Structure 1
Amino acid sequence: MCGTIAADEKRHEQYAYTRIIEKLLEVDPNATLLAIADMVKKKIIMPMHLMYDGQDPNIFENFSTIIEWQGVYTSRHYAEILEFLITRWELEKLEGLIDEARRAHDYVCGLPPRVRKLESKAKKIEPRQVKFSWIFNKQVTA
């Protein structure tokens, strides 16, 4: 199942996220940069944030904490994705932007170092025990 999901996500990345944005940057770099910055500022919400087991109202928060602690998906991964896209879309090379798009450009291109700073802060958070209903209420360190 994980392989199927990963393959599907890879297709999204290759076709939707990467190539469409490349084309949009060719057509209208100003509007595209404004849209990218707006999307990132509003945070990219994964559908999984809706998960609910009927018992724990904080299940997504707890699950997210565990996958961060276990190294499955961390702020380092997010920073790497941002760096990949900034490089792939050649955002650093864009010229002739209007002032508002230039500010958006600086914001987006400046995100990876800021995200990496968050990673060092996240490591300082004290672990806690969380129970998950789908693993028979077994306590897991989060």
Structure 2
Amino acid sequence: ERATFISHGNTARLAKQYGDIKLAQICGAVAADEKRHEAAYTRIVEKLFEIDSDTTIRCLADMMKKKIVMPAHMMYDGGDENIFGHFSAVAQRIGVYTAKDYTDIMEFLVDRWGVEKLTGLSDEGRKAQEYVCSLVPRYRKFEERTQARAKQATTVPFSWIFGREV
């Protein structure tokens, strides 16, 4: 939810910057709704950590190992087999949603949920905790490489804007 809040908020700012006030308002409304979802889900997981930190940290580690992907990864326009990859590259390049945003989200959640300070964990729980706590530094390194690649990316045409290259 935090990711969609960020991406819709950034899209709203870009739309406003380029003079599309209605699109900015729509994206802003979606961002506000996503912010409310984020607050609710963050509190729910926070409570899960209070109730059963061992199971919760093991589930979080498992989820992170399986990778979190945006629902848009399934987008298809009938022609471009790598449309999500192209879309993601443009989003990274223009600042709609970046590897830094992803890393910042992970850092925020690890801190908010006190993952580094969890105690009384089983051996599996401690391993899961170590894994989750190791992600932010690893993602920061990846973030730097991703940003460098994004700046070098070529433009690609998108069918939904009549083949215009972005």
Is 1:85 aligned to residue 85 of structure 2?
no
Name the count of aligned residue pairs.
Answer: 139
Per-residue Cα deviation, 1:36-62 (whole angstroms, up to 9, x for no partner): 011111111211112112221211110
Q: Which residue of 2 aligns with 1:139?
A: 165
Is 1:117 aligned to residue 141 of structure 2?
yes
Q: Which residue of 2 aligns with 1:51?
A: 75
Q: 1:29 aligns with which of 49, 53, 69?
A: 53
Is 1:98 aligned to residue 122 of structure 2?
yes
Instruction: Tell me the distance in 1 between the aligned counterparts of 2:116 and 2:86.
Output: 36
Q: Which residue of 1 aligns with 2:84?
A: 60
Is 1:8 aligned to residue 33 of structure 2?
yes
Q: CA deviation at 1:98?
A: 0.8
One-letter identity of the residue aligned with 1:128: T
Q: Percent identity?
A: 54
Instruction: Tell me the distance in 2 between the aligned counterparts of 1:122 and 1:83.
Output: 18
Give structure 2 stretches of 5+ with no counterpart: 1-25
Q: Which moved more, 1:65-74 or 1:123-132?
A: 123-132
Q: Which residue of 2 aligns with 1:19?
A: 43
Q: CA RMSD in A?
A: 1.2
Give 4+ residue runs of structure 1 displaced > 3 Å after superposition.
none
Give structure 1 stretches of 5+ with no counterpart: none
- Asked which structure has the greater RCO (Cα within 8 Å, sep 6+), the reply is 1
Q: 2:153 aligns with which of 127, 135, 139?
A: 127
Instruction: Tell me the distance in 2 between the aligned counterparts of 1:3 and 1:72.
Output: 13
Instruction: Tell me the distance in 2 between the aligned counterparts of 1:22 and 1:122.
Output: 31
Question: If each structure's helix is expressed as a fraction of its own residues, which one has the higher value?
Answer: 2
Instruction: Tell me the distance in 2 between the aligned counterparts of 1:80 and 1:124.
Output: 18
